[in-house]
Amino acid sequence: MASIKEKVNEMILKGGVFIKFGDKIIKIIIIFVVMKICTRIGYALINRLFKRQKQSRFGFDERKSDTLSELLKSITKYAIYIIGIISILKEVGFDISTLLVGAGFGGIAVGLGAQSIIKDVLSGFLILFEDQFSVGEYVTIEGMSGVVEALGLRITKLKDFSGDLHIIPNGQITKVTNHSRDNSRALVDVEIGYEEDIDNALQILTKISKEVEEENESIVEGPTVLGVSELGDKGVKITIVAKTKPLQQYGVERQLRKKIKENFDKENINIPYPTCVIVTKSGNN
Amino acid sequence: MASIKEKVNEMILKGGVFIKFGDKIIKIIIIFVVMKICTRIGYALINRLFKRQKQSRFGFDERKSDTLSELLKSITKYAIYIIGIISILKEVGFDISTLLVGAGFGGIAVGLGAQSIIKDVLSGFLILFEDQFSVGEYVTIEGMSGVVEALGLRITKLKDFSGDLHIIPNGQITKVTNHSRDNSRALVDVEIGYEEDIDNALQILTKISKEVEEENESIVEGPTVLGVSELGDKGVKITIVAKTKPLQQYGVERQLRKKIKENFDKENINIPYPTCVIVTKSGNN
Amino acid sequence: MASIKEKVNEMILKGGVFIKFGDKIIKIIIIFVVMKICTRIGYALINRLFKRQKQSRFGFDERKSDTLSELLKSITKYAIYIIGIISILKEVGFDISTLLVGAGFGGIAVGLGAQSIIKDVLSGFLILFEDQFSVGEYVTIEGMSGVVEALGLRITKLKDFSGDLHIIPNGQITKVTNHSRDNSRALVDVEIGYEEDIDNALQILTKISKEVEEENESIVEGPTVLGVSELGDKGVKITIVAKTKPLQQYGVERQLRKKIKENFDKENINIPYPTCVIVTKSGNN
Amino acid sequence: MASIKEKVNEMILKGGVFIKFGDKIIKIIIIFVVMKICTRIGYALINRLFKRQKQSRFGFDERKSDTLSELLKSITKYAIYIIGIISILKEVGFDISTLLVGAGFGGIAVGLGAQSIIKDVLSGFLILFEDQFSVGEYVTIEGMSGVVEALGLRITKLKDFSGDLHIIPNGQITKVTNHSRDNSRALVDVEIGYEEDIDNALQILTKISKEVEEENESIVEGPTVLGVSELGDKGVKITIVAKTKPLQQYGVERQLRKKIKENFDKENINIPYPTCVIVTKSGNN
Amino acid sequence: MASIKEKVNEMILKGGVFIKFGDKIIKIIIIFVVMKICTRIGYALINRLFKRQKQSRFGFDERKSDTLSELLKSITKYAIYIIGIISILKEVGFDISTLLVGAGFGGIAVGLGAQSIIKDVLSGFLILFEDQFSVGEYVTIEGMSGVVEALGLRITKLKDFSGDLHIIPNGQITKVTNHSRDNSRALVDVEIGYEEDIDNALQILTKISKEVEEENESIVEGPTVLGVSELGDKGVKITIVAKTKPLQQYGVERQLRKKIKENFDKENINIPYPTCVIVTKSGNN
Amino acid sequence: MASIKEKVNEMILKGGVFIKFGDKIIKIIIIFVVMKICTRIGYALINRLFKRQKQSRFGFDERKSDTLSELLKSITKYAIYIIGIISILKEVGFDISTLLVGAGFGGIAVGLGAQSIIKDVLSGFLILFEDQFSVGEYVTIEGMSGVVEALGLRITKLKDFSGDLHIIPNGQITKVTNHSRDNSRALVDVEIGYEEDIDNALQILTKISKEVEEENESIVEGPTVLGVSELGDKGVKITIVAKTKPLQQYGVERQLRKKIKENFDKENINIPYPTCVIVTKSGNN
Amino acid sequence: MASIKEKVNEMILKGGVFIKFGDKIIKIIIIFVVMKICTRIGYALINRLFKRQKQSRFGFDERKSDTLSELLKSITKYAIYIIGIISILKEVGFDISTLLVGAGFGGIAVGLGAQSIIKDVLSGFLILFEDQFSVGEYVTIEGMSGVVEALGLRITKLKDFSGDLHIIPNGQITKVTNHSRDNSRALVDVEIGYEEDIDNALQILTKISKEVEEENESIVEGPTVLGVSELGDKGVKITIVAKTKPLQQYGVERQLRKKIKENFDKENINIPYPTCVIVTKSGNN
């Protein structure tokens, strides 16, 4: 009877081992099944994501979309395989922690690398959501100016007046200056010599301002003669300011300058060249 | 009897296994229930947050508010699902730690990306709480000047005098210069030649200062003639200073400059052009 | 009898389960009690902190103080609730670690965001403790100059002579230049032509220095004529230096300059305009 | 009977130890087998990777490819050996955690070092995927301009017009300016003296513009005379602008300048040298 | 008999629970005792530290010392209380890990904030230990120059010649230029026109050098005429160099300049004004 | 019989303890053995590494090699000893985790310090592998130019034309400009006065270009006269461009300039000095 | 009999507790012993380190050495005490993890602070090992130039020609320019007017070069007349280059310049002052 007891005990011990081994095999099978299921779910999610994406505002073309979809599926597949294999290895008794240490450092490196891409996408979303600028507007970003040609998921493209195409990752965009949201300001500085009569010049400039206001359609708020803005090296500087439709300030400024030159010519007011007083000293220096 | 004992022992072992399995199934069910509850609570909290937010100082418009609310609900839903699924997978015996390692690196990357948004919101809150500037004030932030058009949760918008709209994330705002909090200073530098009489010039300037003080309403503290501030290349520089209402300094300066020019003309004091002493040497150099 | 034994064993097993469940319910109740107690203690501590704070040197006004107090109480309440709920969830068997991973990344992000505020407060404390500057002193910090208007817990406000209000977070303050701690130095450079007599000029300047020393009350150490500090483009540069009461140097310099001009006029010494030797070459170039 | 019981118990104890030791030996053997298998798989994967890579767009030459393949195989081999040995050491009872601490810091250091390489490769992939620039285009990157000679996995090579070869790691490339994507702009500024007749000059420039438009094949949109863009020191500045095929602007500008000079000579309009008004003062200064 | 066995088993189970509870209460009591002891030890250590500190080279005044001592005692007290309470909470079964996660992030934030203070103190210690500079020496640190007024535990104070007090945290000090450690160099550049005789000028300068060497006590190594150091725009530049006692170079340079001017006047050598060759072209330009 | 049972139980308990102690002693012995073996293996690996290294492209001299080898052996020895001792201490029951915390921070500090060295070596390897530059080529790195004298494992040495030796850690090298990989460009700008005949000048320059092309062996692609590249302050600027063998551009440019001067002299074309139009105003200013 | 069994069971339970307590006391004693041993070993190691250090190349003076040795011993002692006490506290049942969290953050802060010191020492070692520069050589480091006065373990001292002592932490040294390793280059630019005869000037300069080569001992490779290096504003620029012994270039340049001036005087070649063509226009402007 005791021997039976012994056997039982022995069996329990062995059984424990067997159960342990059986348990492990079952676990491994479960892992395989879960892996398959996860892969399917992953594929489905990626397909759905790309289907949705095609209808969204950030337009990828078909070719890129497919490339990316395939890429993501591969990554998903391998990721699931790796996790599955590691799970199995652990069950078998392989020391996973050491492998994970290595993988972890690789992961950190990749994660840090990928981080800037995530930052780009997040920034792109914020720019869109907050409507900081949109395609067709003229903006200045990080010292680069241009008309927004494309506002993508990760990069923004600006086309400069000089024909250059600036490509800026969205994550690099912090401070934005949008020139197309509001009326622009035209500003013309005219200098007259100290020997000219200021009041006369002011009258002529006021007259010109009124003419330009009537002639030029892109002016929003008529040119105003502000007055003497500097007593400088070349003489008295007078400033004229006007509000124009966005980005129309250059044309208005050119028109103003031409009119000023013509009227000053008529009225015999000189726009001064740099002027210099010379004191001669017939020095035996 | 012993065999019963064996069976009992066996039962205990098996029972343990069964109890273990039953226990797991119960746990999984509980997890599902908790997931549902959490989703509800999450939705309720988001609704409440947005209801409150609509009454607060940081105004979102209706459309943005709804978009954001839906977005947050989706995120909450998926977050709870993911945590639930991971909990279940762990119960089933899948090696979660490896999955978490991967998720962790993604999470770090996203967290670091999101960090700048959190910083923006925190900074925006501090600006409001400390009343650093408010809508309508003229400020200079990080080299960009303008009237504050909007002080949002994440970004501040400045409208430049030139019509440009500067958009600055609140987290980028460190040092702020607020020009609208206190009286401004008008400062005019006049230069007269070395051959002029300083005392005469000072008297004229003092007289002008008194006139301007009486005429100009935006002056807070009358223009004061400080004295000889430089013996420079062009002659003696005399400085006049006045306190004006905020941002009115430019008009005061223009008025002062015009008066000075007119009075100096009357009194025959020349504002000098750049002057040069020439020593001629009929050098056979 | 054996059946009793079985039952006992069964009971132990079940009892273990019941005890386990009972134990958990007790634990959950204890957690709730501890949560309530902690909330009370937290509220009391916050009240005490704000009571103390009102008497301290960093003055908040009443309104801000109340807002902050309410805010902190809300944060405390929710923090304790969250920890409590997580503790209960863990008892119930929900996988907390995954939730914590998510929370952790949020926490890191918030922590890093909040870090700059902590740095600001620490820096503010150090500035006060080390008495780097105090309200009313004229300082230069990070390229911004002004009279210290307020030295707060987190920000310092400087009022510029031009009327601008500079707001600088204390954490941004590293190198400080305090202009009000010691006597200032007035420094005047005078240039005379190479054809003038240096010794004569030095004598006149020394005479002026003595006069100014007697007349001007804000001078601490009489103006000293240092001598020939440069043989430059315009002639011989002579430097005069004086020690004045803090920030009085500008007035002293203006007085010195006026005196020099007047005396040089009397003594027929010219302060030179830029001078140029011209060698003419009637070149058929 | 009891003695049997004792023996059994003893056996169980010892057996546990033996089983423990036997278990360990089996585990070690399994580890060796898994190591071998992993090495094989690793080699196969590397071979496949390099086979694929040879057909891809990023072209390595044969020699580099082989070097890299051998290198990766060595790394794989040693990595697996190290993990295996650590697993065995752990089984034997050596304290691995301490070794891992050391290894971890080494790993962090290497990981951080390698991180920039990963960033380079990721950036290179993005440049290609987003088609930011391609071989043969003229671009400006980080202040360096040149024709793209090679766009590699890790570095981009630009050939400057001066013959210099700029080598830039892809990870250093953030903002890109691509000059070859769109038509370029030719811009010529002409200055005429204030005493010249503006309208006459404008007519001549318009005439030249038409001539150049007909003659020059690389012009896309005819040169337009914009008007008076500045009233400067040298006189009236008039600006002419044209759209040309990419990078053809320099030739167009040279042709315009030559024509302008020739026509102005014919029409007796002077392009002014720097002009200066001299007021002489026979000063006994 | 079996029932006794049952009871024993039951007792063991219950006993285990009781022992567990009793054990916990004892542990809590021990924790309280240890807390008290630690507080005492902490106080004693702080007292001892401050006693020692008062005798050390870094002088705090009494008031600061007491403030700091009280502050540290409060921190110690609260720190011990918090750790004690957490230990007790853990015993009671509260989930500490979640609390620690929160505390941890706060701790990181504070730690990172405090880090710069630690860096300051470490740097201050190194400056003292390596004797980089000491009170009274004239140094240039990070673009700020001045006489070292105080070298504190955390900050260094420099007093500028202009009377400004620069306050620099020691951690910001990296590269130091110490002007008081060695003899200074006086350097005077003299320019003579191209039409002058170099050898004559060199002789005169050598003669002056000898005179100054004899007269001026602060010269360590006699002024040496180096020779023609530039053929520049104004003529031939000749350089004289001397070694002087630290910071005495300015006086020596002034003396040299005065002597040179006087001797050149005697010998009829002109120090040239900027010279210009003019080619006149009576152009009908 | 029961007493035997008790004894057995007791024995089991004690035996457990003894076995535990015996087990520990065996473990300690194993640790010692493994330590010895590891040291041997480490030495062997280092010897092998240095043997290989001596044959590789990165040449260390014998002395450095030996120093480094000894150093690495010491490090290995101490590292193994430390790990061994920690393992033993842990077996004895000493709290290792606390020691590890301390060691960890030291390790982090050292690791971060060593990181830059690893980065240097990695960068050096990449430079070699990608053949960015090699010994004897003339390159510009981080604003320093010179002929590559040595490309080491950790540093690169450049010898400037001025004789300076620039030493740059490889990790600091990001953007490289290699001047020796391709033909250089010689560029000469010639200015002629506005009154000269452009076509005549262009003919002469074309003639010179042909002469130089024939005479100078280092020209790859004949000098081409591009045309009018600027209408500037001094007159019409004409640009000539040529392709030369690497780094031969300076000689070609000098030859071109000399020829141009000589031919212009012959043809009576003046290379203009800065020219200025003077308008005199006998102003009673 | 059963009661005996009970007692045994009870004893086992209690014995377990007693053994547990006894075990703890033994452990505490062992910890004390190990602490003492570790302190001794630590002291011995420090003594040995300092003994060795005194014979090494990095010379500390006796006083510093002793200070440092005492400091290190104190640190070692307290470190061991702290670890010991923590180990004992843990045995007693105090919650160490919370204490460690706090200590950890302190440790991180200190570690990060100390990190820069470790970096300094590592860099110093590398500079010595790679022989980047040594005492007495003239180097430029981070914009500071001077003769290396001391190359210490942590800092490098440079003595400027102006007598300033630059102190640079080794960790701040990245790019080094060593001027003493190779022959220096003397470079003299001479300008002659456009109206002079180039060939004549070149002949004279070649003659001078030969003279200087013979006279001056510090020339390594004779001065070579390179030719026309610029057609500039002042005339034709001719460049002469020579190789000299390290740092002897300034003397050679001075000698060359003097000779050139003297010879040009003899040959009637003018070194031109800035030259200007004036076109006068008696404009009624």
- Tell if the CB–CB gap between E100 and G95 is shorter than 8 Å: no
- Tell if the CB–CB gap between D167 and F177 is shorter than 8 Å: yes
- State both tokens at D279: 């007021």
- Tell if the CB–CB gap between B175 and C167 is shorter than 8 Å: yes
Distance CA C144, CA C169 (A): 13
The interaxial angle of helices E249-266 and E198-215, nearest 10 deg, is: 130
Give the neighbours of chain A: at least 3 Cβ pairs within 8 Å.
B, C, D, F
| Highest mean predicted confidence (pLDDT) among C144-148, D276-280, G35-39 | C144-148
- Select from A7, A9, A88, A105 the residue whose CB has the most chain D CBs within 10 Å, as the one to mutate to test that interface: A105
CA A144 to chain centre: 11
* Set of chain A residues whose Cβ sits within 8 Å of the Cβ of C195: 283, 285
Quick one: CA torsion of B33, B38, B41, B46, rounded to 10 degrees?
-140
* Set of chain F residues whose Cβ sits within 8 Å of the Cβ of E285: 195, 277
Q: Which residues pair with E187 in a beta bridge?
A: E241
Q: Are C191 and C234 in contact (CB under 8 A)?
A: yes
Give the neighbours of chain G: at least 3 Cβ pairs within 8 Å.
C, D, E, F
**Candidate CATH numbers 1.10.10.10, 1.10.287.1260, 2.120.10.70, 3.40.50.300; the one for domain G15-127:** 1.10.287.1260
In this prediction, residue B241 carries a pLDDT of 95
Answer yes or no: same fold for A138-178 and A184-266.
Answer: no
Which residues, 6+ apart, have CB-to-CB distance to D169 below 8 Å?
D116, D120, D154, D155, D156, F174, F175
Of B94, B154, B275, Cβ closest to residue A277? B275
- Pick the residue from chain F with its C-alpha nearest to E277: F273
Give the neighbours of chain E: at least 3 Cβ pairs within 8 Å.
B, C, F, G
C→A contacts (Cβ < 8 Å), by residue, are 195, 273, 277
* Set of chain A residues whose Cβ sits within 8 Å of the Cβ of B272: 277
| Highest mean predicted confidence (pLDDT) among A201-205, D82-86, G102-106 | A201-205
Burial letters G95-106, b for 16+ CB under 10 A, else e: bbbbbbebbbbe
- Tell if the CB–CB gap between E285 and F277 is shorter than 8 Å: yes
Residue with tokens 């004004």: E273
Out of D9-18, D220-229, G178-187, least confident range: D9-18
A→F contacts (Cβ < 8 Å), by residue, are 195, 273, 277
Is residue A57 exposed (0-12), middle (13-18) or buried (19+ Cβ within 10 Å)? exposed
Which residues, 6+ apart, have CB-to-CB distance to C205 below 8 Å?
C190, C225, C238, C240, C260
| Fold for the domain defined by C184-266 | Alpha-Beta Plaits (3.30.70)
- Select from G119, G233, G281, G284 the residue whose CB has the most chain D CBs within 10 Å, as the one to mutate to test that interface: G281
* Set of chain F residues whose Cβ sits within 8 Å of the Cβ of G87: 94-95, 98
- Pick the residue from chain A with its C-alpha nearest to D275: A273
Distance CA G159, CA G147 (A): 5
In this prediction, residue A65 carries a pLDDT of 72
- Tell if the CB–CB gap between C67 and B129 is shorter than 8 Å: yes
pLDDT for residue C13 is more than 70: no
pLDDT for residue E284 is more than 50: no
Walk along chain F (285 residues) and give the pLDDT tens digit of each residue: 445 555 545 544 554 444 455 666 777 787 788 788 888 888 888 888 777 766 655 555 666 677 777 777 877 787 777 777 777 766 665 555 555 555 555 555 566 666 777 788 888 888 888 889 989 999 999 889 999 998 887 899 999 999 999 999 998 998 999 999 989 999 999 999 998 899 999 999 999 999 999 999 999 998 999 999 999 888 999 999 999 999 999 999 999 999 999 999 999 998 999 998 888 875 544
Round the CA-based radius of gyration of chain B to a whole number and report it: 38
Of C279, C283, C285, Cβ closest to residue G273? C279
Chain mean pLDDT for chain G: 80
What number does CATH give the domain F138-178? 2.30.30.60
Q: In this structure, which amino acid lies at residue E278?
A: I
- State both tokens at A2: 């005791």
Of C142, C167, C254, Cβ closest to residue B226? C254
Q: In this structure, which amino acid lies at residue C22?
A: G
Q: Are B144 and B168 in contact (CB under 8 A)?
A: yes
| pLDDT tens digits for range G50-89 | 777 666 555 556 666 777 777 778 777 877 777 777 777 6
Angle at B99 between CA B97 and CA B105, to 5 degrees: 100
Out of B222-231, C137-146, F128-137, F198-207, least confident range: F128-137
* Closest CA–CA distance from residue A149 to any residue of chain C (Å): 34
Distance CA G124, CA G169 (A): 9
- State both tokens at F137: 């080529």
Residue with tokens 């547990």: G20
Distance CA C30, CA C21 (A): 14
Q: Are F257 and G228 in contact (CB under 8 A)?
A: yes
* Set of chain F residues whose Cβ sits within 8 Å of the Cβ of E115: none
Q: Are C150 and C135 in contact (CB under 8 A)?
A: yes
Chain mean pLDDT for chain C: 80
ipTM rounded to 2 decimals: 0.74
Give the neighbours of chain C: at least 3 Cβ pairs within 8 Å.
A, B, E, G
Distance CA D12, CA D5 (A): 10
Q: Which residues pair with D189 in a beta bridge?
A: D239
* Set of chain D residues whose Cβ sits within 8 Å of the Cβ of G279: 273
pLDDT for residue A224 is more than 70: yes
**Candidate CATH numbers 1.10.287.1260, 3.30.1360.30, 3.40.50.300, 3.30.450.90; the one for domain C2-94:** 1.10.287.1260
* Set of chain G residues whose Cβ sits within 8 Å of the Cβ of D195: 283, 285
DSSP state of E159: E
- Looking at residues A233-262, what average pLDDT do you find? 93
- Tell if the CB–CB gap between F277 and G281 is shorter than 8 Å: yes
Q: Are E191 and E234 in contact (CB under 8 A)?
A: yes
- Tell if the CB–CB gap between C195 and A285 is shorter than 8 Å: yes
Q: Which residue has the higher pLDDT, F52 or A231?
A: A231
Give the neighbours of chain F: at least 3 Cβ pairs within 8 Å.
A, D, E, G
Q: Which residue has the higher pLDDT, C19 or E163?
A: E163
**Candidate CATH numbers 1.10.3720.10, 1.10.287.1260, 2.60.40.10, 3.40.710.10; the one for domain E9-94:** 1.10.287.1260
- Tell if the CB–CB gap between D273 and F194 is shorter than 8 Å: yes
* Set of chain C residues whose Cβ sits within 8 Å of the Cβ of G196: none
* Closest CA–CA distance from residue C164 to any residue of chain B (Å): 5
| pLDDT tens digits for range A127-160 | 888 889 989 999 999 889 999 998 887 899 999 9
Query: Of B240, D125, C140, F210, which is closest to residue E168 (Cα–Cα)?
Result: C140
Distance CA F268, CA G261 (A): 29
* Set of chain A residues whose Cβ sits within 8 Å of the Cβ of B280: 280, 282-283
DSSP state of B195: T
Which residues, 6+ apart, have CB-to-CB distance to C235 below 8 Å?
C191, C192, C193, C194, C196, C272, C275, E273
- Pick the residue from chain G with its C-alpha nearest to C283: G277
* Set of chain C residues whose Cβ sits within 8 Å of the Cβ of G195: 283, 285
- Tell if the CB–CB gap between A165 and D185 is shorter than 8 Å: no
- Looking at residues D197-218, what average pLDDT do you find? 93
- Tell if the CB–CB gap between C195 and A279 is shorter than 8 Å: no
Of D195, D273, D277, Cβ closest to residue G279? D273
- Select from E167, E215, E216, E239 the residue whose CB has the most chain C CBs within 10 Å, as the one to mutate to test that interface: E167
A97 band by pLDDT with thresholds 50, 70 and 90 = low
- Tell if the CB–CB gap between G165 and E183 is shorter than 8 Å: no
- Tell if the CB–CB gap between D273 and G285 is shorter than 8 Å: no
In this prediction, residue F208 carries a pLDDT of 94
Secondary structure class of B26 (helix, strand, coil) = helix
Which residues, 6+ apart, have CB-to-CB distance to G275 below 8 Å?
E276, E277, E278, E279, F273, F274, G193, G233, G234, G235
Which residues, 6+ apart, have CB-to-CB distance to B21 below 8 Å?
none
- Tell if the CB–CB gap between A182 and B163 is shorter than 8 Å: yes
Q: Which residue has the higher pLDDT, D246 or E11?
A: D246
Q: Where are the domains of chain F?
A: 2-94, 138-178, 184-266
Task: Report DSSP letters for F137-196, one per residue.
Answer: -EEEETTEEEEEEEE-SSEEEEE-TTS-EEEEEGGG--SEEESSSS-EEEEEEEEE-TTS
H/E run at residue B244: strand B236-244
Is residue F87 exposed (0-12), middle (13-18) or buried (19+ Cβ within 10 Å)? buried
- Tell if the CB–CB gap between B195 and D279 is shorter than 8 Å: no
Q: What's phi and psi for D277, nearest 5 deg?
A: -95, 130
- Pick the residue from chain D with its C-alpha nearest to A269: D194
Q: Are E188 and E253 in contact (CB under 8 A)?
A: yes
- Tell if the CB–CB gap between A195 and F285 is shorter than 8 Å: yes
